Chains A and B, each alone.
Chain A
């Protein structure tokens, strides 16, 4: 199966582990990812705060660059995913606005026909297109005994439906069960990680991060598994600062779901970007998966 691939800026550096593990896992599952040539930043939430038309035009450039042979576009970052799908939907639902966006694209010699590209998140591609049997077939090192808390964040499940429940999504729960992991059913799995608030108001952001870490810890999770680079950065990168701020002692590794797929599939952890996380996952993986998992 062939998909256009939009990695997004985070996956270049900060979330390189996500990018590497996505590519490795996709390879193994027969998902052919073709990176959009010369893609640009999706503008995150920031561009929408300044200029809606420019925000959509910037995003639509990427949609326009998807090769005509494919109509499926995969984005692993939740913010990129939402921006891409939202722009397409705006252009479809509001044809006048769509025309304006195309006027902008025309200034760069591009054109995008609204609705042409279906934007997908990597999780949906694996769960819906690849499916349980194919995933289970590939598992060589089941994650038995590992208590993982799937963390969905916001922008993949809301506000545009990805055929999962926007309040209580289950897709990643299923996927992690297929890998043999013990899945923690905790109530805040689709609550907010704080997003860009770490840059604006740390007390506010840290409180949101604390709620998630606290709840996952209350439900005795060994680690949190996420599907968005922003969530990962906030929960992992800021974890020690949150501890400092509240006097807590969280020590929860935050991994990408593709990394967990990768180790269950027996892929070399180095290739999956293990070790790039700040709160290291090694001790818990060694303790729970026995011997030398990585």
Chain B
């Protein structure tokens, strides 16, 4: 083959040229690397003039491959690929090598930098000679979208898309949409009533012509790929006919079985065995909790069935699997509360008047079990002093190392509510007060004015072991007041633990179903932490809300809307381009050993039972290349990263290490 390679070495002002002799590198490459017909250095290759130069060379010299030695391909690979494309060269015949981040910026020795730059250029040149033109594939995008999770982030995404005229399927695990926000009393820093701002959105979703809700349902299975996913939804048996039920609520009223509600009421209140979690639930169709229903457990009762005016109760209902076709998926699966019992020194579960933040949300909620009265567990006594403990299960390597982000503000909100509703003294025990968003610091200032006490120190323990008479019968919060440098013991009546946010217990499992991964902490991994925060590594799957990382309501809403915008963009365009970096199997050589089948986490390799060979489903392949490396017969090829290309790259990168080369180096 008669390759004609062009080599371009960027100065990047003095960023590269400062510690690499770029002129020498270009001169040397032109002389020493085979098939090189052009070798130039240039001040700023990414400038329009620089790109133009490459384009001109491609046309005039008939270049068959281009090597750009500049910055990270993560920054400018697209730029130079497009330049090649404009000049009629397949973009995959352009290879970038990173002289800036990997050489000039990490080193100050010019000779060493120049030497390494030569090796990198050599490797890229050897590689580009073996690169093949690749064409991206186009697939059509199904305009329907699946949203998983009916919390505020999922609701926002749903409404944005539905309002834009696109079909949305919304899946929610609980009997009603609304999520955690429905449990809150007030929202910081404005102190809006949570229900007042949430319930209109809920009913809008419930009534929207473009939305199909699946409540009390779970995502069962995902197959297919961007543009054309097939999903299975498990509609759990509600034992109430969705179409017949009018939501009148007589069944709940008459149900004789009371159960502690540890989901919506966080264990603070009761519900019936047939129930809707809260009055404004959407849909208003109740569910029967079979584990506690007297009919299901003892074969007696049937009161709900008897009182139902529309004969909607159906004890024989079974789980149902619904299959849907969607083009995109938005995961908005939310979070769960840290289990405060994991820190026994704070006494939750052992000391009656130690509360979690979710318990306290219900306690001060006007629709909660005490109608919003702040009283202790005895149900009547108002506390005279309340301690709010920050960072419970956050910022601690023994539980979760990350900051949950919302607890400082929620603690301030609690402080305000206690001061407003009682005469209690309120103490906040914080490590660092974090109030970084709009009007948050102002809210902190407001609480300072309202007389909340702030003690800087992580609480060591909450105990009922009194040492002095004034501690008798109290909960004692033991802490170092780090601003005084002194240990303090503060007796109080009530303690609120600000439990942190944790990923859902099944987040990982659910993520695997649609091919997205989790961080160490268990949050879904976005494609780029700054510049691509709602997309994921799997095309067509987006994330929104706390499932991607701790955030407050405004941020969750913004992310929901952002995910919807990304999906709307895909739908509006109508087609999607799939990267051609995928694996393929040469069926002739495949022995049918099936080793590769199990290696693929995306189930992109199928086995043809008849032909006894494996085959790559191109649309599902993400191009990681693990199967390529594992194939014992060596018949799997990874496009753009095949063995020949990588071997050539190794050859080039070690050009000065081979025994025969040492002689040459001496003479260079």
Identify the A interface with B (CB < 8 A): 165, 167-168, 185-188, 211, 214-215, 218
Contact = CB atoms under 8 A, between A and B. Distances in A.
**B contact face: mostly helix, strand, loop, or mixed:** loop
Contacts of A188: 463, 465
Contacts of B165: none
B344 A186 contact: no
B593 interface: no
Interface of B: 343-345, 347, 350, 463-467
Contacts of B343: 167
Contacts of B465: 186-188, 211, 214-215, 218
Contacts of B347: 187
Contacts of B350: 185, 187
Nearest to B343: A167
Contacts of A187: 347, 350, 463-465
A149 to B, nearest CB: 12
Contacts of B345: 167-168
Nearest to B467: A211
**A contact face: mostly helix, strand, loop, or mixed:** loop
A215 B466 CA distance: 8
Contacts of A167: 343-345
A218 B343 CA distance: 24
A270 to B, nearest CB: 36
22 contacts: A165-B344, A167-B343, A167-B344, A167-B345, A168-B344, A168-B345, A185-B350, A186-B465, A187-B347, A187-B350, A187-B463, A187-B464, A187-B465, A188-B463, A188-B465, A211-B465, A211-B467, A214-B465, A214-B467, A215-B465, A218-B465, A218-B466
Nearest to B398: A166
A243 B63 CA distance: 96
A214 B466 CA distance: 9
A186 B351 CA distance: 11
Minimum-distance CB pairs A-B, first 4:
A168-B344, A167-B344, A167-B345, A215-B465
B344 to A, nearest CB: 4
Contacts of B344: 165, 167-168
Given A167-B343, A185-B350, 20 more contacts: A165-B344, A167-B344, A167-B345, A168-B344, A168-B345, A186-B465, A187-B347, A187-B350, A187-B463, A187-B464, A187-B465, A188-B463, A188-B465, A211-B465, A211-B467, A214-B465, A214-B467, A215-B465, A218-B465, A218-B466
Instruction: Output the residue of B343, B347, B467 with the most chain A CB within 10 A.
Output: B467
B536 to A, nearest CB: 37
A188 B347 CA distance: 12
A168 B463 CA distance: 12
A167 B347 CA distance: 10
A187 B466 CA distance: 10
A215 B468 CA distance: 11
B399 to A, nearest CB: 12
A69 to B, nearest CB: 38
Instruction: Output the residue of B464, B465, B466 with the most chain A CB within 10 A.
Output: B465
Contacts of B466: 218
Contacts of A186: 465
A211 B467 CA distance: 7
Instruction: Output the residue of A167, A185, A187, A215 with the most chain B CB within 10 A.
Output: A187
B286 to A, nearest CB: 40
A168 to B, nearest CB: 4
A198 to B, nearest CB: 19
A185 B463 CA distance: 13
A6 B76 CA distance: 67
Contacts of A165: 344
Nearest to A191: B465
Contacts of B464: 187
